[in-house]
A and B are shown apart, each in its own frame.
Chain A
Amino acid sequence: MSTEVEKFNYDDAVVRKFAFATALWGVIATLVGLWLALMLVMPSLSFGLPQLTFGRLRPLHTNAAIFAFAGNAIFAAIYYSSQRLLKARMFSDKLSNVHFWGWQAIIVAAALTLPFGITQSKEYAELEWPIDIAIAVVWIAFAVNFFGTIARRRERHIYVAIWFYMATIITVAILHIVNNLALPVSATKSYSLYAGVQDAFIQWWYGHNAVAFFLTTPFLGLMYYFLPKAANRPVFSYRLSILHFWSLVFIYIWAGPHHLHYTALPEWASTLGMLFSVMLWMPSWGGMINGLLTLRGAWNRVAEDPVLKFFVVGVTFYGMATFEGPLLSIKSVNALSHYTDWTIAHVHSGALGWNGFMTFGMLYWLAPRIFQTKLWSKKLAELHFWFGTFGILLYIVAIYAAGVTQGLMWRAFDATGRLAYPDFVETVVRIVPMYWVRVLGGSLFVTGMVMGLINIVMTWRTRPRRYADVSDEAPPLGAYAGVTPRLEVPRYSQMTASGHAFVYFVKAQWHRVWERSPLKFALWATAAVVVASAFEMVPTFLIRSNVPTIASVKPYTPLELVGRDIYVAEGCYNCHSQMIRPIRAETERYGEYSKPGEFIYDRPFQWGSRRIGPDLQRVGGKYPDLWHVRHMEDPRSTTPQSIMPSYAWLEKTDLDFGSVQQRVDAMAMLGVPYGDAVLHGERMARAQSQEIAARIAGQGGPKHLETKQIVALVAYLQRLGTDIKHQGSGS
């Protein structure tokens, strides 16, 4: 064995950049969230501007919180901990910089497109195809850099945190590519390759696993590295951490369909999602217990160390959120909670409590080390902790109360068997006080975030004139060659060859080899993800009975298609669902429950995930055209207590008839039987817009709307859910 020792230094410059970006984007993401919370009680805050409506800004908030705040945080964690755990500088400083600046450019691109209605409308995957390609390129640069560092490592064993990072990189790449497959119509518009039920299934396979592999596994890697460092104690049980890893990788990927209970998704897929979600309790709580018990013997320090305080509350929120997640996946609970603010409270306890607090624990631990100076103010960090803690508690308790109230009111019947609250807006008015408490809680949390940013910036300002090189030394990996102890399995005389082979297998020498061979390890983690995904996807796509066709369901007319695209661009799905569940309270309120065959031309699907406003699946024909015009112009003119913003510009903005044919052609390429519309899309759209504009004028409304966007939107809304009413026979 060679005794040669190599000296090397770490690249902390990239960690500093990601740490700064985390603190900055964290403030911006939560400020936008606070603005949105205010809009729910003061809808006039959109000031009549399209770019400031709730529907357009909510995706900006979610994307900023997930990909800008949490994303930069996990990259800071990965770049800092991987170099030290692998005893190697990052593979390429250039790739590190490509990753950092590329990721920030993507965030800026999101901020410049989402408020302008450029969106795919898939939750947490709203960004349009050119940005999706950029994400894939930057992610590949990150992956090459990360795996290149592993290849150049000087530490034989790959610590469990690195396993979590590997699973993240591989799985996020698969999820992103599969979910974003789309046919471009223009530089800013595309149609999903999947339609209706399949699109919904793929989206929530992605959506759920984005939570799993972007907001959970990398943060667990962070926890398994930074928590032992902060406590100055090894992880409580390394065994449990390995069990935690494999259980999560094998279980999480199956759980996505629980987002679609009682929808038009086949029941077997929904049940499978529920079962695996309930199984997640076991590894998640194992991980939480492992995290908290790592502090054994160090609890006395929690009172005086803000870093440990953040970690303790962060891990506790992980336990709470992962208890609640499986609970919400149980069908009977989900029937009450789905589409209500309960889900929003759950998401925020995870994102603010688990991701947010783990992030700030890490940043406060990192700041003195990466800036090579003292933390500017420990007191301010303590204050941040208390503002954050009380902020989250106020926020989520109010929203839990709002969610349960909504759910119970929606399903309540009076003594005569009629809906107790038939007017949807009654259920909105009831929770407005809770929305105000949410604003208060959010304000406290944002204040804490600002304190965090100030503390990081001020610490940076007291940095030394020139950073000292952070160097280390270790023997090269080759020095270990041949010294890996072989597994000795005694061969007794009574033992058969197959018995000996079995014992050898059970002793799992093969897994010890994987642990040191990142390529094999990565391949098996990929196999776990791909097999689980295939088990759910293949039947969903190939079994025809899953999506029975309905003869009366026809493609949207060219004008309705354009109107649908306006609905998508305005982000209406952020407040309105298009999915009536087969539950009596819903069919009484909205009409016939939704059938899978009704959505075969919906690219992308618009089922939504919450109801700030009522479901719109059967709104077609419910009101006259003029009602829709007046409602969009000023929602309070038709529903005095409505909290919907005004969409008055739709009456003034010209419809882009020039793009109609492109849209129709793209849909035809995806297999929609458009017939004559392939040749005369624009002409057909103009003819239908004339008809609708004439009807609106005839009903006493504004004249000459035939060239305006409102006409296309009215055409789409009036078509919604009506095909099934013409159903003579289904096949």
Chain B
Amino acid sequence: MKLSDVVSSMHLPVYAEVPLLLFMGVFIGVVLHLAGRRDELTAMAALPLRDDARRPEHRP
């Protein structure tokens, strides 16, 4: 039996549903991950501005 025989006999519509569930799982995971990290996230958001605060670059 070839690999193509196995795949050919699979139920195709599942291919449209499994990825949706996969994505939903990841999405929920990321949302939960982001919950309750207020202070940490505020510090991370400020990263691009840190060098300006410490060492002002040439301004036009």
Cross-chain contact B27 with A368 (CB below 8 angstroms): no
Distance, CA A12 to CA B53, complexed state (A):
20
At the interface, yes or no: A3 with Cβ under 8 Å from chain B?
Answer: no
- Chain A 457-475 residues near chain B, CB threshold 8 A: 470, 472
Distance, CA A235 to CA B43, complexed state (A):
11
Residues on B with C-beta less than 8 A from A272 are 15-16, 19
Complex partner residue of B52 from A81, A155, A229, CB under 8 angstroms: A229
B11 to chain A, nearest CB (A): 11
At the interface, yes or no: A725 with Cβ under 8 Å from chain B?
Answer: no
Complex partner residue of A155 from B4, B22, B47, CB under 8 angstroms: B47
B7 to chain A, nearest CB (A): 4
Residues on A with C-beta less than 8 A from B32 are 506, 508
Cross-chain contact A542 with B8 (CB below 8 angstroms): yes
Cross-chain contact A238 with B44 (CB below 8 angstroms): yes
At the interface, yes or no: A246 with Cβ under 8 Å from chain B?
Answer: yes
Closest to A157 in B: B44
Distance, CA A378 to CA B59, complexed state (A):
13
Cross-chain contact B60 with A159 (CB below 8 angstroms): no
Cross-chain contact A268 with B49 (CB below 8 angstroms): no
Cross-chain contact B58 with A268 (CB below 8 angstroms): no
At the interface, yes or no: A303 with Cβ under 8 Å from chain B?
Answer: no
Cross-chain contact B48 with A159 (CB below 8 angstroms): yes
Residues on B with C-beta less than 8 A from A543 are 4, 7-8, 12
Cross-chain contact A232 with B47 (CB below 8 angstroms): no
Cross-chain contact A238 with B4 (CB below 8 angstroms): no
Distance, CA A160 to CA B13, complexed state (A):
35
Known contacts A232-B49, A250-B26: does B55 contact A268 (CB below 8 Å)? no
- Chain B 26-60 residues near chain A, CB threshold 8 A: 26-27, 29-34, 36-37, 41-49, 51-52, 55, 57-60
Interface size class of B (residues with CB under 8 A): 35 or more
- Chain A 209-232 residues near chain B, CB threshold 8 A: 224-225, 228-229, 232
At the interface, yes or no: A275 with Cβ under 8 Å from chain B?
Answer: yes
Cross-chain contact A369 with B15 (CB below 8 angstroms): no
Residues on A with C-beta less than 8 A from B3 are 542
Cross-chain contact B44 with A372 (CB below 8 angstroms): no
Distance, CA A161 to CA B49, complexed state (A):
13
Residues on A with C-beta less than 8 A from B43 are 157
B1 to chain A, nearest CB (A): 12
Cross-chain contact B48 with A225 (CB below 8 angstroms): yes
Cross-chain contact A268 with B13 (CB below 8 angstroms): yes
Indicate with 1 or 0, residue by residue over A234-248, a CB within 8 angstroms of chain B CB atoms: 110011001100110
Complex partner residue of B8 from A239, A472, A544, CB under 8 angstroms: A544
Complex partner residue of B7 from A155, A279, A539, CB under 8 angstroms: A539
Residues on A with C-beta less than 8 A from B48 are 81, 84-85, 159, 161, 224-225, 228-229, 234
Distance, CA A532 to CA B23, complexed state (A):
10
At the interface, yes or no: A390 with Cβ under 8 Å from chain B?
Answer: no
At the interface, yes or no: A310 with Cβ under 8 Å from chain B?
Answer: no
At the interface, yes or no: A480 with Cβ under 8 Å from chain B?
Answer: no
Residues on A with C-beta less than 8 A from B12 are 268, 539, 543
At the interface, yes or no: A375 with Cβ under 8 Å from chain B?
Answer: yes
At the interface, yes or no: A271 with Cβ under 8 Å from chain B?
Answer: yes
Cross-chain contact A246 with B26 (CB below 8 angstroms): yes
Distance, CA A511 to CA B44, complexed state (A):
15
- Chain A 323-377 residues near chain B, CB threshold 8 A: 368-369, 372-375
Q: Name, among B10, B48, B52, the residue most crowded by chain A CB atoms within 10 Å (CB to CB).
A: B48
At the interface, yes or no: A731 with Cβ under 8 Å from chain B?
Answer: no
Cross-chain contact B23 with A85 (CB below 8 angstroms): no
- Chain A 507-564 residues near chain B, CB threshold 8 A: 507-508, 511, 528, 531-532, 535-536, 538-539, 542-545
Cross-chain contact A369 with B30 (CB below 8 angstroms): no
Cross-chain contact A243 with B31 (CB below 8 angstroms): yes
Known contacts A159-B47, A250-B23, A368-B58: does B8 contact A238 (CB below 8 Å)? no
Q: Name, among B7, B20, B44, the residue most crowded by chain A CB atoms within 10 Å (CB to CB).
A: B44
Residues on A with C-beta less than 8 A from B52 are 229, 232
Cross-chain contact B29 with A508 (CB below 8 angstroms): yes
B4 to chain A, nearest CB (A): 4
Complex partner residue of B51 from A84, A242, A368, CB under 8 angstroms: A84
Distance, CA A33 to CA B21, complexed state (A):
43
Distance, CA A224 to CA B45, complexed state (A):
9
Distance, CA A31 to CA B1, complexed state (A):
57
Residues on A with C-beta less than 8 A from B26 are 246, 250, 528
Residues on A with C-beta less than 8 A from B15 are 268, 272, 535-536, 539
At the interface, yes or no: A667 with Cβ under 8 Å from chain B?
Answer: no
Residues on A with C-beta less than 8 A from B7 are 538-539, 542-543
- Chain A 63-83 residues near chain B, CB threshold 8 A: 81
Residues on A with C-beta less than 8 A from B10 are 539
Closest to A294 in B: B45
Distance, CA A235 to CA B42, complexed state (A):
9
At the interface, yes or no: A276 with Cβ under 8 Å from chain B?
Answer: yes
At the interface, yes or no: A14 with Cβ under 8 Å from chain B?
Answer: no
Distance, CA A160 to CA B60, complexed state (A):
27
Residues on B with C-beta less than 8 A from A234 are 42, 45-46, 48-49
Closest to B30 in A: A246
Closest to B59 in A: A368
Distance, CA A497 to CA B46, complexed state (A):
37
Cross-chain contact B60 with A375 (CB below 8 angstroms): yes
Cross-chain contact B16 with A279 (CB below 8 angstroms): no
Cross-chain contact B41 with A238 (CB below 8 angstroms): yes
Distance, CA A247 to CA B27, complexed state (A):
7
Cross-chain contact B27 with A238 (CB below 8 angstroms): no
Cross-chain contact A238 with B42 (CB below 8 angstroms): yes
Residues on B with C-beta less than 8 A from A506 are 32
Cross-chain contact A243 with B42 (CB below 8 angstroms): no
B5 to chain A, nearest CB (A): 9
Distance, CA A160 to CA B34, complexed state (A):
13
Closest to B23 in A: A250
Cross-chain contact B45 with A238 (CB below 8 angstroms): yes
Residues on A with C-beta less than 8 A from B49 are 228-229, 232-234
List the 4 shortest-distance A-B pairs measured between CB atoms, nearest first: A508-B33, A238-B45, A542-B7, A234-B45
- Between-chain CB contacts (< 8 Å), 16 pairs: A85-B47, A85-B48, A229-B52, A234-B42, A238-B42, A238-B44, A242-B33, A268-B16, A272-B16, A368-B60, A372-B58, A531-B22, A536-B15, A539-B7, A539-B15, A545-B8
Residues of A within 8 A of B (CB): 81, 84-85, 155, 157, 159-161, 224-225, 228-229, 232-235, 238-239, 242-243, 246-247, 250-251, 254, 268, 271-272, 275-276, 279, 368-369, 372-375, 378, 470, 472, 506-508, 511, 528, 531-532, 535-536, 538-539, 542-545
Residues of B within 8 A of A (CB): 3-4, 7-8, 10, 12-13, 15-16, 18-20, 22-23, 26-27, 29-34, 36-37, 41-49, 51-52, 55, 57-60
Besides A235-B45, A242-B33, A539-B12, 8 new A-B residue pairs in contact (Cβ under 8 A), listed by A number: A84-B51, A161-B48, A232-B52, A239-B34, A247-B27, A250-B23, A472-B51, A542-B3
